[in-house]
Chains A and B, each alone.
Chain A
Amino acid sequence: MCGSSVAERRRIAVTGVGTVTPIGTGREQFWRSLLAGRCGAGPVESFDTSNFQVHRGAEVKDFRASDYVFELDPGCLGRASQFAIAAARLALEDASLDPIAFDTQQAGVICGTTSGEPQVIEQFDDQYVGGGLDRIGPEFIKQYPCHVIAANVASELGFAGEVNTIPAACAAGNYAIAHAFDLLRSGRANVMLAGGADSFSRITFTGFARLGAIAPDVCRPFDRRRKGMIPGEGAGMLVLEPLDRAMRRGARIYCEVAGYGLSCDAHHMTAAHPEGSGAARAMEAALRQSGVTPDDVDYISAHGTGTPTNDRLETIAVKRVFREAAYRTPISSIKSMLGHTMGAASAIEAVVCALAIFYDHIPPTINLQESDPDCDLDYVPNCAREHRVAVAMNNAYAFGGNNSSLILAAAPTRLQVTVH
């Protein structure tokens, strides 16, 4: 099999970012809100929560699909696809990349998701229980299966290369970026849009509520009083291209993707391994591939869902890998502000890492007032912080024991990184 000798391994740059989030759409609005510590949690409006014990979520407000969807008919798209297209368009604009300027057969889309298009199946189910199966038409099979998210983005933008969806639940964004990174390095693509998208889902809300994992008020990662996550929605997309091509066209380079690590707990479907070993293995693999040590990492974007268990186990895992350096490495959870945007989360967090490197600024973990003896690291409480960030690590963990760790590093002028 040809095309992937080690000597030809390309370095991969992030040249554009786009986000749709509960605290802002588009790089500038989103970054401003992040640094200001804005909280996106509020009463759930997408559906009636009166039968639930919890009522809060982080929904995207005032989103108009017609602002971003021009080629396809927004009415034929589920909400996750709409978010994904919006984030993708924004990322392409941000990268100053005009589709007429490159070979679209060498351009692809890898999108992560947890739920696919839940509103489509929820509508199907409403018709099912309401005795209205005869009303289900041909659009169900064309709008529901999760591969349509990446496909819709590709169709909207005219990308005709590698197009697929990686439904790795709450780690999907990292998995999608990792896959896009590999495709670019092996020469299967020259431009990739990679990220994740999820829309608010009554199925997801119901399930997490039933697990007792949803907080009654706000998401307080690492706080002693934390009671759970706040379900959210949104999308994050990054434009990835070979570094040499990006430099040749004079693109703004946010950072490089230095490497990644993936692991599987093979332990429990919804609970992480009690010693954090899977998470640790993912971090170690990412560090190894990137050629950086824990001391080199300037910022960790945590999975930090705000559940009692995750935050404690994540802290254990970080200490396992970083040892003493764990206490010197700022680690924050933007889920404190965005809620848990599911498949979009680690993609949006990767965007945040790219921006942190570019702007030398770290977003806070908000709602953190009481410290927990089990969580004693520097979580950047409540206030954003100016901090030189040359290397950032983005961690995400999913149902099924899927663990991921992505490392982004400043562009070559600032850092010498050996990429294997």
Chain B
Amino acid sequence: MSSLGDSAPRLHRAMCEGKSGLHPLEGFDVERPRCSLGGNLVSFSAESYLKKKNLRPLDRTGQLVAVATQLALEDSGWTTEELGKQDVGLVLGTFFGSVHTISEFDRHAVLAGPSYASPMDFANTVINAAAGQAAIWHGLRGVNSTISAGSTSGLLALGYAVDLIRNGRGTAILAGGADEFCFESFLGFERAGFLCGSDGGTGEFPIPFDRRRNGFALAEAGGLLMLEDADSAVARGAYVRGEIKGYGSAYDCARGRHSERAVEAIERAMRLALVNAELTPGEIDCLSASANGSVLGDRREALAIAHVFDAQSDCVPVTAIKSMIGEALGASGALQALDLLETMRDGVLPGIPLLEQMEDGLRPVVVGPKPRQVDVRTALINSVGFDGNCCSLVLGRFLM
């Protein structure tokens, strides 16, 4: 569920046409904002998907997850009867849970007094609330967990779920991530100077890897993939879109304060993912970068890609979909995976709109402003946080 559509094909088609899910923000009044763009869902109606009248127990993050769950279940062909017979799990990555719900609950209690705090809202102040809500909503009785590793949460959730399945903790687990766009989150990133903008003028778009880049645009989304043990999936006649072949994660103890160490951690995550997938860099056909327009982040990731792919880095096409979808925090990794599965199907890798000039010394040949035809058998996805977390995951075609 994203600002570019509620299905992977829609999201992918929009991005291949260079459409942006980012738009001028209204109603998020921040004093002296640098950034005026965001990828919030303006006309999101959870009711139209969930078809239930009383959605009051769900906050926005809960709605995003419940809707993404619904869409994933439908897309993967799981019926209500099948859900009754088998325990399907849910592993959700999230940056904040819902900082808006938490903050509002607290502010209301401070202003009106603790006797007027809302018990229903309290239930949503725990960071695992959305995963719990989606489980109730859809009857998911399998393993249910929430994981937070900054903006790598969604990609890491996919890896966590794969390991759970391989460990026999379930044969079907929904995995991905979600984060809502809210004032508290927007203000936080604004004040840290991370958001793109033109210092007083109207906002510029985030342009990953471009020399003119000056930050990212915040977005919201919920993205979930149905992961299943391959034999079970085939046995039930599922349409298999791809396979997760491996993942790796690493941490930069210096939390981004030292360039070399930051690059090393990103590089290490990529190498761990490749080793885990039993692949060499030369076997990777394309890369979905985490780059979102951050001045430091994009440069470091580009350097790490160059180190890993060495001779191939002039040949591996690299895209950065956060140019269009924005930085959806916990949902990012899932959206990158969903889009790459479409690329594996239709052979088109989205471009990076507005990209004109790579920074000097950045070697990876990115796909350029226009989409490119690529035959993808295996692909690498990167997820890099601003404060140390790094995760990479390998997707591949499914072959029986």
Query: Given A129-B110, A179-B160, does the pair A266, B99 have CB atoms closer than 8 Å?
Result: no
Residues of B within 8 A of A126 (CB): 110
**Interface SS of B by simple majority:** mixed
Cβ of A138 and Cβ of B193 under 8 Å apart?
yes
Q: Which of these, A53, A144, A402, contacts B132 with CB under 8 Å?
A: A402
A166-B145 in contact (CB<8A):
yes
CB interface residues, A 186-227, toward B, < 8 Å: 186, 202-203, 206-211
Whether B106 sits at the interface, judged by CB under 8 Å, is yes
Contact residues in A for B167 (Cβ distance below 8 Å): 4, 182, 185-186
- Known contacts A144-B188, A166-B148; A207 and B115 CB within 8 A of each other: no
How far apart sit A275 and B132, CA to CA, in the bound complex (Å)? 18
A115 CA to B145 CA, complexed, in Å: 16
Whether the Cβ atoms of B128 and A210 lie closer than 8 Å is no
Contact A133 B265 (CB under 8 A): no
| A contact residues around B148 at 8 Å (CB) | 145-147, 164-167
Which A residues lie within 8 Å of B138 (CB)? 266
Selecting from B6-14, B89-97, B360-368, the interface stretch reads B89-97
In the complex, the chain B residue whose C-beta lies closest to that of A277 is B141
Contact in complex: A151, B117 (CB < 8 Å): no
- Contact partners of B46 in chain A: CB under 8 A: none
Asked whether B47 is an interface residue with its Cβ less than 8 Å from the other chain, the reply is: no
State the majority secondary structure of interface residues on A. Answer: mixed
* Cβ-based interface call for B235 (8 A): no
Cβ distance B269 to chain A, nearest Cβ, rounded Å: 10
Neighbouring B residues of A266 by C-beta, 8 Å = 135-136, 138-141, 144
**B89: nearest chain-A partner, CB-CB:** A264
- Any chain B CB within 8 A of the CB of A105? yes
Interface residues of B toward A: which range? 35 or more
Minimal Cβ-Cβ distance residue in A for B136: A266
- The reply to whether the CB of B232 lies closer than 8 angstroms to some CB of chain A is no
Task: Provide the A265-282 mask, 1 if CB < 8 A to any CB of B, else 0.
Answer: 111111000000010000
User: In the complex, are the beta carbons of B149 and A164 less than 8 A apart?
Assistant: yes
Q: Given the known inter-chain contacts A2-B276, A160-B251, A164-B148, please indicate yes or no for A210 contacting B114, CB distance below 8 A.
A: yes
B102 touches A121 (CB 8 A): yes
> For the complex, what is the distance from the CA of A158 to the CA of B141, rounded to whole Å?
38
Complex contact A400–B144 (CB within 8 A): yes
Q: Does B162 contact A (CB under 8 A)?
A: yes
- A168 close to B (CB within 8 Å): yes
Give the residues in chain B near A2, CB-CB below 8 Å.
246, 275-276, 278
Other-chain contact of B107, A115, A128, A154, A164 (Cβ < 8 Å): A128
A263 at the interface (CB under 8 A from B): yes
Q: Answer whether A151 and B145 are a contact pair too, CB < 8 Å, given A210-B122, A269-B132.
A: no
Min CB distance A206 to B, Å, is 5
Task: Select the residue from A138, A140, A141, A146 with max chain B CB neighbours within 10 A.
Answer: A141
Q: Is A284 an interface residue (CB 8 A)?
A: no
Q: 0/1 per residue, A154-171, Cβ < 8 Å to B?
A: 110011111111111100
Contact with A along B72-90 (1 / 0, CB 8 A): 0000000000000000011
Q: How far is the CA of A142 from the CA of B191 in the complex (A)?
A: 11
Query: Which residues of B are found within 8 Å of A137, using beta-carbon distances?
Result: 191
- Is the beta-carbon distance between B144 and A52 smaller than 8 angstroms? no
A269: chain B residues within 8 A (beta carbon): 57, 123-124, 129, 132-133, 136
- The interface residues of chain A lying within 8 Å CB-to-CB of B191 are 136-138, 140-141
Interface size on A, residues (CB 8 A): 78
List chain A residues, Cβ under 8 A from B140: 264, 266
Q: Determine if B132 and A202 form an interchain contact, defined as CB atoms under 8 angstroms apart.
A: no
Contact B129 A399 (CB under 8 A): yes
Is residue B399 contacting chain A, with contact meaning CB distance below 8 A? no
Closest Cβ neighbor of A163 among chain B residues: B251
Q: Which of B252-260, B320-328, B347-355 contacts A (4 or more CB under 8 A)?
A: B252-260
**Distance in Å from the Cβ of B278 to the closest Cβ of chain A?**
5
Are B141 and A398 closer than 8 Å at their CB atoms?
A: no
How near does chain B come to A155, taking the closest CB pair, in angstroms?
A: 5
List chain A residues, Cβ under 8 A from B246.
1-2
* Interface presence of A114 (CB below 8 A): yes
Q: Is the CB of B276 within 8 A of A142?
A: no
- Distance between Cα atoms of A113 and B188 in the complex (Å): 21
* B144:A402 contact, CB within 8 angstroms: yes
Distance between A312 CB and nearest chain B CB, rounded to angstroms: 20
B:166-221 near A, CB below 8 Å? 166-167, 169, 184, 187-189, 191-194
B126 pairs with A169, CB closer than 8 A: yes
Q: Assess the A401–B135 pair: CB atoms within 8 A.
A: yes
Q: Is the CB of B149 within 8 A of A264?
A: no
Q: Chain A's nearest CB lies how many Å from the CB of B166?
A: 6
Docked Cα-Cα span, A105 to B254, in Å, equals 13
Q: Known: A146-B148, A166-B147, A400-B133. Is A124-B123 also a contact (CB below 8 A)?
A: no
CB of B34, distance to nearest CB on chain A (Å): 13
Q: Is the CB of B114 within 8 A of A151?
A: no
Q: Assess whether B150 is interfacial by the CB under 8 Å rule.
A: yes
Interface centre among A144, A182, A207, A209 (most CB of B within 10 A): A207
Q: Which residues of A are found within 8 Å of B123, using beta-carbon distances?
A: 269-270, 399
Contact between chains at B103 and A125 (CB < 8 Å): yes
B388:A151 contact, CB within 8 angstroms: yes
The verdict on A160 contacting B250 (CB below 8 Å), with A202-B106, A207-B125, A269-B133 known, is: yes
Q: In the complex, are the beta carbons of B132 and A399 less than 8 A apart?
A: yes
Selected contact of B119 from candidates A138, A164, A210, CB within 8 Å? A210
29 A-B pairs in the complex with CB atoms less than 8 angstroms apart: A4-B163, A51-B114, A124-B184, A125-B107, A125-B110, A128-B103, A136-B188, A145-B99, A145-B150, A151-B251, A154-B253, A155-B388, A158-B253, A162-B249, A162-B251, A164-B147, A167-B146, A185-B167, A186-B163, A202-B106, A206-B106, A206-B114, A263-B144, A264-B140, A265-B141, A266-B135, A269-B129, A398-B126, A400-B126
Q: Name 8 extra pairs, CB < 8 A, besides A166-B147, A402-B145.
A: A1-B244, A128-B103, A147-B153, A150-B149, A154-B388, A159-B251, A160-B252, A266-B140
Interface residues of B (CB under 8 A from A): 31, 57, 89-90, 95-97, 99, 102-103, 105-107, 109-111, 113-115, 117-119, 122-129, 131-133, 135-136, 138-150, 153, 156, 160, 162-164, 166-167, 169, 184, 187-189, 191-194, 244-246, 249-255, 265, 268, 275-278, 385, 387-389
Q: Which 5 A-B pairs have the closest CB atoms?
A: A400-B132, A207-B122, A167-B127, A264-B144, A141-B188
